[in-house]
Amino acid sequence: NTTSIIAYDCGMKFNIIRYFVDTHKVKLTVVPFDYDLEANPSNIQWDGLFLSNGPGDPSMCPETIKSIQYALKLEPPRPIFGICLGNQLLALAAGAKTYKLKYGNRGMNQPCIDLRTGRCYITPQNHGYAVDTQSLPSEWKQLFMNANDLTNEGIVHINKPFFSVQFHPEASGGPLDTAFLFDKFVGHVRKETQPLVLQDGLNYRRKTYKKVLLVGSGGLSIGQAGEFDYSGSQCIKALKEEGIEVILINPNIATVQTSSEKSDTTPAADKVYFLPIRPHVVMDIIRKERPDGIIVSMGGQTALNVGVELWNSGELQKEGVEVLGTQIPAIEATEDREIFSQKLAEIGESIALSYSATNIDEALEAANKIGYPILVRAAFALGGLGSGFAANDEELKELAAKAFATSNQILIDQDLRGWKELEYEVVRDSSDNCITVCNMENFDPLGVHTGDSIVVAPSQTLTNREYFMLRKTALKVVRHLGIVGECNIQYALNPKSEKYCIIEVNARLSRSSALASKATGYPLAYVATKLSLGKDLVSIRNSVTKTTTACFEPSLDYCVLKMPRWDLKKFNRVSNKLGSSMLSVGEVMAIGRTFEEVMQKACRMVNPALDGIEGAGSGLTSDEIPLEEQLKIPTDTRLFAVQRALEEGWGVDKVHDLTKIDKWFLSKLQNIASMRNALVKSGNLEKSFADNAVDRMRTLKIAGFSDRQIANYSNLLPLQQGAAQVRDLRKSLGVTPCVKQIDTLAAEFPANTNYLYMTYSGNHDDVSSSFDSPVMDSGEAFTPRKDFQSRIRSVSMAEKRHDAVQESKERGVVVLGCGAYCIGSSVEFDWCAVSAVRQLRKDGFKSIIINYNPETVSTDYDESDRLYFEEMSLERVLDIYEREGAAGVVVSVGGQIPNNLAGPLAESGAHIMGTSARDIERAEDRKQFSDMLDDLGVKQPQWSVLSSKDEAVEFSNKVGFPVLVRPSFVLSGAAMRVASDETELRNFLELAADVADDKPIVVTKFILGAKEIEFDGVASGGKILNYAIGEHLENAGVHSGDATVILPAQKLYVGTIRQIKKSAAAIAKGLNITGPFNIQFMGIENDVMVIECNLRASRTFPFVSKTLHANFISLATRAMCGLNVTPYNISLLDIDYVCVKAPMFSFTRLRGADPTLGVEMASTGEVACFGDDAHGAFLQALLATGFKLPKTGAPVLLSIASDPFRREFAGAAETFSKLGFKLLGTPGTASYYKEHFGLDITEVTKPVDKDDNGPSSALDAIKEGGVELVINISEGTTRREEITAGYLVRRAAVDFGIGLITNVKCAVWLAIAMGNGMQDFKAKSISEFYSLHRD
């Protein structure tokens, strides 16, 4: 070969040889480090000189340096290139100095800046010495510089072809982003002209922005949940740091980002608009506020769609508003499959192949293009009708014939079954610096939506080659699409080869961005916001170290696992099969050092009833369905079936064949199964730990076994005492968990973060604990006589109180967060936890938060003094409580999970802040609570605690049906049912018994037609400080979480309010409440009865606090900490506006669920809007949930079950008719309105089954007849199992995206609002409403 290069081998890596020989086809002669180049005894011909890497001090190689000095003097000069040690040798030969670094630079995520262009590259390094840049002779310059410690990373001669770098451009086990340096060197040797490399000058063209509009995501729904509250909050923080005025539109009143309280550490938006996120509303705000820029990438699909629509209509450009970050054409390129496919083809990448065919010949042609096996699907068929896999032409012909029977077009897809699904989070700035922040791998193979799959970060089963191949593709794709900010790219990878295809790119922050931020401690939304303002990655600081640059790729010394949380049991007729449409309502994230540990942790987080991952013992596998079938079909409980198979000895290979889950994951689950089996076999604690007890205990804890699990397998019952026994044994053996920091620089730079987790895989703590022992209560202490107490108290109280508070401030307070989002416990409890922590910090308390939900703001480590991303089990909370030496635990701001821990924590001696655990139990236990109400003389519906079905039936017959069945200690009405006759009652009792364990079940008389009233309050020492009374629009019988709530209440009698206040005061005193509480009342005429009381913050606290402009949680937090509290001055008479909260449902996602409301909660989120009058606010809130108003003249379908409801709705029906809508009605409804009111209404028939859609049927009107609103009011609260005509109509409305109203009160309000033309409203921010109140 004509090009000859001589390479000095000081410890050269094979990959360097491969680059020269395989990639660049040069003749490479390798010589030892002491070869004398001047004498050249072997007479080697050479055109270029390469200096390799090697260990140690460069000044120990004088022979090599002598040869380099000879080469440097040659004329004409011959090119020289050095790597690592070669860089130091070249510098010494040129006359510069080297020195030893304190630690050296190690690892494969070192950021290096190319000083020619300002571009930053991620490089692998391993060296302990560096070149002293100051000592370089005048004809030499620094070529690369380390962005973290600013040390030298390369040198270059100013006019001769000599250069070297300190990093490894070729490392196998690292990114190859700088491999272009080989091209440069070989080009020099071949005397090819080198291209000119210049800076892009972007830094000089940076625009400044004064005011930015941020578009939020609205109410929470399946697929778009709390993660956008987190990303929006991060975005506001980043904008405020740059001194930009922030305008936010988001009707989700439960979020942290819509809070207006500001402090130095927690900035807030300058103006918040609680309005529907619709294009015309956003334009109204833009015309009013005149922002320079708009951010649409932080509010999920809702915000993105609005941004795209406004850009395409040209309205944003007309107002001169810039879209910050990724531009709309780039976003559209990722959203539109056709454009996306073309864009990828331009750079030689492809998406999964798919072709359509209209006859069998086309199908065969398509199949042969893709290559067998293939998937055949009928187009436009619901639920995968007529689909199947074909392995050859014969099978395809047979399948295609069947598919053409149901559809005139079929789709031929590439078969990706069993392929791995992977995801990379990528960040790119406008200067083209591009990094991958986190890569994640799905536990389930392709076919299950990522949102419904267990996800592990970093990926565990990829080879080094696969990892860097996909990383390289990610950078190439993101650069080609021109994304600025953050995005994620999803791949399918064939586990048997290196074949892959791209599934999709999300050009916005997504659910996985929140997960990646929490998994790595890299705040993606914050960084993306800074980048969208034109900053570059190098200038932004790394949040974990506070000193290094954000242009780096985190390397994790831990493993993270995300597990979804489903709530499918709440819906009748919803299949639990998982597929391509997301069904989960929340997720948890576990951090640990082994896969076994995080898997077990995550199971306990998702379901507090589980003690870890179990098969048959979990109660989640079926004995009726064959185990093989449970493994084949992905469902929300398949994981437990897999574990059961492994426990029963099926073996990894057999389970892999059925599930296609990677064998590496299965072998880890096998480890858990064999440890479990060993414990169960021994069945005795003493026996299990008879020999090498310490090692055995530690091994179990490293594999994630909880104390309760060990107690359970050792037959120590009851479990709570058993677990305490295991805990004592464990502590006596000295086996305790370590506290570790989230460290993303592989210990290279000190981590300066309060972001912590606990693990048994470690032998020392990363953070010190300040106190030896926590504050422990000795249970219920005895109380001396009253007069003696008061005498003593007055003397010592003042001093004691001050000292106690001071000590509490130093010791700190543990706040338990909300856990996984589910129906009934959602972002509103995150708002409560964040408000509590912010108030603690304001008052000078050290705040410690425990939570494991990656979608939350409370798990942002800037919010608290210490964040434990940990499970909220009794065991772990006690570990942290003892370790931190805390003064107490707040259990009342995180919803039901922390509230249920109050008793066990208090029994273990922990100090509960606020209302005592004993009193919490008296409110939660239905029987004790009802007894207390009777003692206090507070009215309640007739009730009885029952131990047998017959007793229940007897009681129900006595008070008369309908009755309400409810278990104790549950959230959001789980297993609550209204029974209207004996058969239903017996069925429901069985269901409730499953839920309630050993807690009593209560049956209460259910009162029809009553009004429900919500009372939220804060008390201190049994005295109410502040309260708010909200009324439900719907009558009682709709769960309060699904009800439309109006505040201040509009239609309550003065007498009713007086009674409510009196009852609430009696309850507060009776339970000695300190902190937040919520009571639900039922009113008939002037009669008020108590339904239930929760001694914790309720779902309506953010709504109440923001409406009354008074943070109830801040007040409650001060009361619980024993500070002096002054109530807010709230005068309801002075409030000149109304706020209406409306529920947000996800029925479109839940195929087959009946979209009606009952006593068990079904909504996934909520929105609230303000207005000068209640109807206007109601209409805006309804629109904010995504409700579509019918256009004038469109058909409206009425189907109302009974005459009383028809009468109530009559005025509204007349209004719709006057407004020009075309009324359709089912037979009974149509004849009623014709007969009694003479309305022009067309009759349509009721459907018998789902295929009953002939002309003039209700289903045909919905599907083909252009109906734009369905008002369907059923019999009331009965839930029967059989499919009714009403169900078919409701379901059709949801499936075809038509507005549906199922409550008569809401339907009447809608008519009034539309009749008054309230769909046109002026955009007003919350501060404008508040100023009305202050005037």
Active centre residues (catalytic): 84, 168, 170
Going by C-beta distance under 8 Å and a sequence separation of 6 or more, which residues neighbour residue 1326? 258, 260, 271, 272, 273, 274, 1106, 1170
Helix locations, 35-74, DSSP H: 62-73
Other Cβ atoms closer than 10 A to 1018: 31
Taking the C-alpha atoms of residue 827 and residue 703, their distance in angstroms, rounded to an integer, is 32
Burial of 1138-1163, coded b for 16+ CB within 10 Å and e otherwise, reads bbbbbbbbbbbbbbebbbbbbbbbbb
SS3 993: helix
Taking the C-alpha atoms of residue 1291 and residue 601, their distance in angstroms, rounded to an integer, is 38
Closest CA to 1022 of 1052, 983, 1066: 1066
Residue indicated by tokens 């896999």: 389
Q: Are 503 and 351 in contact (CB under 8 A)?
A: yes
Going by C-beta distance under 8 Å and a sequence separation of 6 or more, which residues neighbour residue 1308? 1208, 1209, 1211, 1212
Dihedral, CA of residue 694, residue 695, residue 698 and residue 704, to nearest 10: -140
| Strand intervals (E) in 87-139 | 98-114, 120-131
Query: Omega of the bond prior to 1143 within 30 degrees of 0, cis?
Result: no
Phi then psi for residue 593, to 5 deg, are -110, -5
Amino acid 1170 reads F
Taking the C-alpha atoms of residue 515 and residue 714, their distance in angstroms, rounded to an integer, is 36
Strand bridging mode 388-390 / 48-51: unpaired
- Measured at the alpha carbon of residue 731, what is the angle toward residues 727 and 735, in degrees to the nearest 5? 105
Taking the C-alpha atoms of residue 157 and residue 160, their distance in angstroms, rounded to an integer, is 6
Phi then psi for residue 1065, to 5 deg, are -65, -40
Other Cβ atoms closer than 10 A to 112: 27
Q: Which helix (H) or strand (E) holds 949?
A: helix 949-959
SS3 543: coil
Going by C-beta distance under 8 Å and a sequence separation of 6 or more, which residues neighbour residue 908? 724, 874, 878
Q: Are 1074 and 1019 in contact (CB under 8 A)?
A: yes
- Side-chain-side CA neighbours of 190 within 13 Å: the count stands at 16
Q: Are 830 and 837 in contact (CB under 8 A)?
A: no
Amino acid 926 reads R
Closest CA to 1216 of 1180, 1260, 1262, 1268: 1268
Amino acid 1262 reads I
Other Cβ atoms closer than 10 A to 1327: 13
Taking the C-alpha atoms of residue 785 and residue 778, their distance in angstroms, rounded to an integer, is 19
Burial (Cβ within 10 Å: 0-12, 13-18, ≥19) of residue 684: middle
